[in-house]
Chains A and B, each alone.
Chain A
Amino acid sequence: MPTLRKIPLTIISGFLGSGKTSLLNHLLTQADGRRITAMVNDFGALNIDAELIAEKHGNQIALTNGCVCCSIGDDLMRTFIEVMQQDPLPEHIIIEASGVAEPTRIAGFASVDPQMRLDGIVTLVDASAHHLHSKDPHLADNYAKQIAAAHLLVISKTDLADAETLATLRDELRAAYPQVPLAETMHGHMPIDAVLGLNADAPHDLPSGPPSGPMDHNFVQWAGHLSPVPRHEVIKRLETLRPHVLRAKGILTDCDGAYVIHYAAGRVEIEPFDGDASGHFVLIGTPALPDNEALAQLF
């Protein structure tokens, strides 16, 4: 069996009203067996259907799909303590950060928790209000920090901005953060695998052959089968695909044995794998990823 695995922490950051709750809502409906704990500011805003609520006590709501929502109530530390007392522990923790939170501060909790690791910071940029937020007299610096901290930038509410505004915003973000993957969403719709990774903490469940091709019009997926390959070599190849690859995961082998590699927007996590490595390897990226043939060539 795998050794004690660390729970990945994903931080969703962005200005008040940038669509964090919609995204979170959408992720929870796609949980499909993943036990996600979501730390949120306001249950009410989540708008959870009454029939999806299994149990409610104190500041935690258990959902029928195995996920749990915890209200932060301005006490992040207390909420983390409570979440890490859950039995069983969650498979993934998502925090909906407040509109003024510095995501790197929140990430610090994972740095000092023996059972947690930072999976990534996702920052939403509201296409319809970027021009206001970036000039807010009191919050512009904070807003810039949230964007700078992101491992994945998501332009949200694309339906509320005209084409020209959207194009300018894209160019601005690409120029400022050339290494950070840039995705787009409306109404918080994003594939869960693109945000949280491929069933992040169940390596043996990696699907043997997910379809390659578009997931929805904003994301593409590619799956391949890799013969034994040194881990540093895989990282090197992935780096050539930045910023277009959001997530990658493989169960591979090299001369040191079988390993699982998780790649999330430049952040690499490698752990030993007990058992025979299947060689399965899956990538999720933006439509700007090279085509299937080129990817097959690369790997």
Chain B
Amino acid sequence: MSIIYQAKSIRTMNPHLPHATHIAVRDGHILAVGTKDDMDGWQAAWGPLELNTDFATRSLLPGFIEGHSHMMEGMFWDYHYVGFYDREGPDGTVWPGLKSIDEVVAKLKEIQANRKDKDAPLLAWGFDPIYFTDRRMNDADLDSVSTDCAVIVLHASLHILNANNFVMEAADVKGADNSEFIRRDENGKPTGEFLGQLGFYMAMRTTGINLLAIASSPETLVNFANVARQTGVTTATDLVNPMPEGSEKPMRETIDADDFPMRLVVAFQGNSKEPDEAVARMQELQESNSDKLRFSLIKMVADGSIQGFSARLKWPHYYNGAENGLWYIEPERLGEYLKAYTKAGMQVHVHTNGDECTEVALDKIEEALRAHPWPDHRHTLQHCQMATRAHFKRMKSLGVGVNLFSNHLYYWGDAHINITMGPERAARLDDAGGALAEGVPLAIHSDAPVTALAPLFTAWCAVNRRSSGGVTLGNGTQNISVEEALYAITMGAAYSLKMENEVGSLETGKRADIAILAEDPIDVGAEGLKDISVIGTMLGGIVHLNQGRD
């Protein structure tokens, strides 16, 4: 059966036919794109095409591709969202944003008062202190919710959490070990704020909640897909997964179900095993590839985050004088892994945040390519937030692509100007304009759940480069156009995943993966991009509508 969908406008991302009004879909693929008349020509050989006008007032784009997200995005929805902005859950429920610490605490009290099991751990997430500059949340805030059960608030960055004294007593937080990852008041008393993985570890050890098991459960995967789908995404990534023995089977069962509304590309955690074993495991995983599930990437993490002061920066390091960040792997080991994967023909995505790390990653990629030449390796630097034009030139010569963390411009742009990088270097933060000018293949991402998953918002960030404080980063050369940003969240990301022949544009023969929007983003323009309502998606010809959108 073939259906012609009529739309107000179709932006195809195909340079030969950028704009159309009709698209014919058959057997999960695109039969034809063009005008109504163009469709009619197919009927002689392919039989009658049924016209569907459900989206006649809508705008269609290739389904969006989130090239750097984590399925962990789906894991928190059984808990309580306390973020600053309204956020839509996988079932379409809108959780209202909370605009002060007091509002967060009041919300938690309300939850505690209304729930049946008052002794169970109370877990909330999405708290974002960058909007509350007057003070930090502390143990007294959470003790006021309850002193008889664990009360834990995860921050949006996932790098920090707050806990009440019930948790700290259960963990027997030791005063003697003067860990810099436990925030203390002027008297040396812990304030309930824990940095890095410590907080997660403590939460698991004291509440018995196994966040690791939840993170990889089928429910989490389904929640993740539904959150992504609501933003127009048809292909997303789980950009680092250790894939323990046997975990691929349940994953594939979940994803291959017809009602699972998304394709997923999983990046295998590159250093979870020694190089030889890792290559073998990846080959084994690839036997489970399907139309909707792909094991096609290796992820290596080389440094930390800029806002967490754990990224590796070149001299003079951090603007505020903080000491330089951390390597997450020995550069020498990174080099060994890159060689092994390059030799095996496996594409590697390397997480690099600071510019020192970007440079070392490029050195190691170059060494690997000299040892094992591979013209279309398409190794990609992920985040790569501080790359200079010189780095982009080198990436171009080496055939390395980039996936920039454009949402940072909004969420941490002010912090980068004032605290981490200083104004000059912050001007080039996530320099999409520079990457394109130097000819580097470009994608842009959210790193969900670190920031909200919404490719139109990510595009808005790359186009406008405006921080949450209202400051514009850079002098205009770093901005990209609306068309370029839309390309980055479709074909750009598809290219970074080596899926550009299947998805990313609307043209004959490709998969019928479509984002259905209330308005045409090119007509709406730069300012309104992020506010365009997503009506639904089509995945392999199957329509998934969002509730209550118009």
Q: Residues on A close to B: CB < 8 A?
A: 16, 42, 44, 58, 73-78, 80-81, 84, 98-100, 102, 104-105, 107-114, 117-118, 138-139, 141-142
B181 and A105 contacting across the interface, CB-CB below 8 Å: yes
Given the known inter-chain contacts A104-B179, A112-B194, A138-B312, please indicate yes or no for A81 contacting B204, CB distance below 8 A.
yes
Name the one of A98, A110, A138 contacting B177, with C-beta atoms under 8 angstroms: A110
The 8 A CB mask of B224-253 against A (1 = contact, 0 = none) is 000000000000000000101100000000
B177-195 to A contact mask, C-beta < 8 Å, 1/0: 1011110000000000010
Q: Mark B320-332, 1 if CB is under 8 A from A, else 0.
A: 0001101111111
In the complex, whether B522 has a CB less than 8 A from a CB of chain A is no
* Interface presence of B476 (CB below 8 A): no
**Across-interface contacts of A118 in B (CB, < 8 A):** 174, 177
Cβ contacts under 8 Å, A107 to chain B: 177, 179
Q: Residue A100 contacts which of B170, B201, B328 (CB distance < 8 angstroms)?
A: B328
Total A-B pairs in contact (CB under 8 Å)?
A: 108
Do residues B201 and A77 form an inter-chain contact, with CB atoms below 8 A?
A: yes
> Which B residues lie within 8 Å of A58 (CB)?
244-245
Q: Is the CB of A75 within 8 A of B272?
A: yes
Query: Judging by beta carbons under 8 Å apart, are B170 and A98 in contact?
Result: no
Contacting residue for A114 out of B170, B197, B204, B324, CB 8 A: B170
Q: List which B169-224 residues lie within 8 A (CB) of chain A.
A: 170-174, 177, 179-182, 194, 196-202, 204-206, 210, 212
Contacts of A42 in B (CB 8 A): 274
Binding site for A on B (CB under 8 A): 170-174, 177, 179-182, 194, 196-202, 204-206, 210, 212, 242, 244-245, 269, 271-274, 301, 312, 323-324, 326-333, 356, 360
Which residues of A lie under 8 Å from residue B331 when comparing CB positions?
A: 138-139
A85 to B: closest C-beta gap in Å: 10
Q: Which residue of the partner chain, among B245, B326, B329, contacts A102 with CB atoms under 8 Å?
A: B326
* Given A80-B201, A113-B201, residue A73 in contact with residue B272 (CB < 8 A): yes
A69 to chain B, nearest CB (A): 14
A74 with B356, Cβ < 8 A, contacts A58-B245, A111-B173, A139-B327 known: no
Contacts of A84 in B (CB 8 A): 205
CB-based contact A112/B173 at 8 Å: yes
Contact between A77 and B329 (Cβ–Cβ < 8 Å)?
no
Separation of A111 and B177 alpha carbons in the complex (Å): 6
A73 CB contacts on chain B under 8 angstroms: 242, 269, 271-273
- A-B pairs, top 3 by smallest CB distance, nearest first, are A100-B327, A112-B202, A73-B272
Known: A104-B179, A111-B174. A75 touches B356 (CB 8 A): no
How far, in Å, is B50 (CB) from chain A's closest CB? 51
Which chain A residues lie closer than 8 Å to B177 at the CB level? 107-108, 110-111, 118
**A58-B245, A111-B182, A118-B177 known; A16 and B330 CB under 8 Å?**
yes
- Shortest beta-carbon distance from B220 to chain A in Å: 16
Task: Tell whether A114 pairs with B206 under 8 Å between CB atoms, given A58-B245, A138-B312.
Answer: yes
B327 x A138 contact (CB < 8 A):
yes
Min Cβ gap A33→B in Å is 28
Asked if B205 and A114 make an inter-chain contact with CB atoms under 8 angstroms apart, the answer reads yes
Specify the chain A residue showing the minimal Cβ separation from B271.
Answer: A74
Alpha-carbon distance between A104 and B181 when the two chains are bound, in angstroms: 9
Given contacts A104-B180, A138-B327, contact A77 B197 (CB under 8 A): yes
| Nearest-CB residue, chain A, relative to B212 | A78
Smallest Cβ distance from A90 to chain B, in angstroms? 15
Given A74-B328, A108-B179, A111-B177: 10 more A-B contacts, CB < 8 Å: A16-B333, A74-B271, A74-B301, A75-B272, A98-B329, A100-B330, A105-B196, A105-B326, A108-B180, A111-B181
Asked if residues B172 and A114 are in contact (CB atoms below 8 Å), the reply is: yes
Residue among A73, A77, A138 with the highest chain B CB neighbour number at 10 A: A138
Measured between C-beta atoms, what is the minimum distance from B304 to chain A in Å?
10
How close is B319's CB to chain A, nearest CB, in angstroms? 17
A61 to chain B, nearest CB (A): 14
Contacts of A142 in B (CB 8 A): 326-327
A138 touches B201 (CB 8 A): no
Q: Contact check, A114 vs B330: say whether CB atoms are below 8 A apart.
A: no
Partner of A110 from B170, B174, B180, B272 at Cβ < 8 Å: B174
> Do the beta carbons of B274 and A44 come within 8 Å of each other?
yes
A78–B212 alpha-carbon span in the complex (Å): 7
Task: Decide if B197 touches A141 in the complex (CB within 8 Å).
Answer: no
CA distance A65 to B58 in the complex (A): 70
Q: What are 28 A-B contacts with C-beta separation under 8 Å? A: A16-B333, A42-B274, A73-B271, A73-B272, A77-B197, A81-B201, A81-B210, A81-B212, A99-B333, A100-B326, A100-B330, A105-B326, A108-B177, A108-B180, A108-B198, A109-B201, A111-B177, A111-B179, A111-B181, A112-B173, A112-B199, A113-B172, A114-B206, A118-B177, A138-B312, A139-B330, A139-B331, A141-B323
In the assembly, what is the distance between CA of A139 and CA of B328, in Å? 12
Please indicate which of the listed interface residues B174, B242, B326, B333 has the most CB atoms of chain A within 10 Å of its own CB: B174
**A143 to B66, alpha carbons, bound, how many Å?**
37
Which of A102, A104, A117, A139 is B174 in contact with, Cβ under 8 Å? A117
* Docked CA distance A105–B328 (Å): 12
Question: Could you say which residues of chain B place their CB within 8 Å of the CB of A99?
Answer: 330, 332-333
A78: B residues at CB distance < 8 A: 212, 242
A16 and B332 contact, CB distance less than 8 A: yes
**How far, in whole Å, are A78 and B481 apart by their CA atoms in the complex?**
43
Q: Report the separation of the CA atoms of residues A108 and B327 in the bound assembly, to the nearest whole angstrom.
A: 18
Q: Which of A44, A74, A78 has the most CB of B within 10 A?
A: A74
Shortest Cβ gap from A298 to chain B (Å): 26
Give A105 to B199 CA distance when docked, in angstroms: 12
Do the beta carbons of A75 and B328 come within 8 Å of each other?
A: no
Chain B residues in 8 Å Cβ range of A138: 312, 327, 331, 356, 360
A112–B197 contact, CB under 8 A? no
Contacts of A81 in B (CB 8 A): 201, 204-205, 210, 212
Complex CA gap A138/B271 in Å reads 20
Set of chain B residues within 8 Å of A77, measured between Cβ atoms: 197, 200-201, 212
**Is the CB–CB distance between B201 and A112 below 8 Å?**
yes
In the assembled complex, the CB of A161 is this many whole angstroms from the nearest CB of chain B, namely: 21
A100 with B329: CB separation less than 8 A: yes
CA distance A1 to B182 in the complex (A): 33
Contact A75 B201 (CB under 8 A): no
> Is the pair B326, A108 in contact by a Cβ cutoff of 8 Å?
no
Minimum C-beta distance from B323 to chain A (A): 7
- Complex contacts, B198 vs chain A, CB 8 Å: 108-109, 111-112
Shortest Cβ distance from residue A88 to the other chain B in the assembled complex, whole angstroms: 18
Q: Quote the shortest CB–CB distance from A274 to chain B (angstroms).
A: 20
A112–B329 CB distance below 8 A: no
Q: Choose among A74, A76, A108 the residue that contacts B181 (Cβ–Cβ < 8 A).
A: A108
Nearest residue (CB) in A for B312 is A138
Complex Cα distance, B302 from A100, in Å, reads 11
B122 to chain A, nearest CB (A): 19
- Smallest CB separation, B545 vs chain A (Å): 38
Shortest distance from the beta carbon of B201 to any chain A beta carbon, whole Å: 5
- Cα distance A74–B201 in the bound complex, in angstroms: 15
Q: Residue on A with the closest CB to B204?
A: A81
Kindly list chain A residues whose C-beta atoms are within 8 Å of the C-beta of B356.
Answer: 138
Of chain A, the residue at the smallest CB distance from B194 is A112
User: Which A residues are CB-close (under 8 A) to B327?
Assistant: 100, 138-139, 142
Give bound CA distance, A167 to B398, whole Å. Answer: 46
> Within the complex, what minimum Cβ distance (angstroms) separates B285 from chain A?
15
Closest to A45 in B: B274
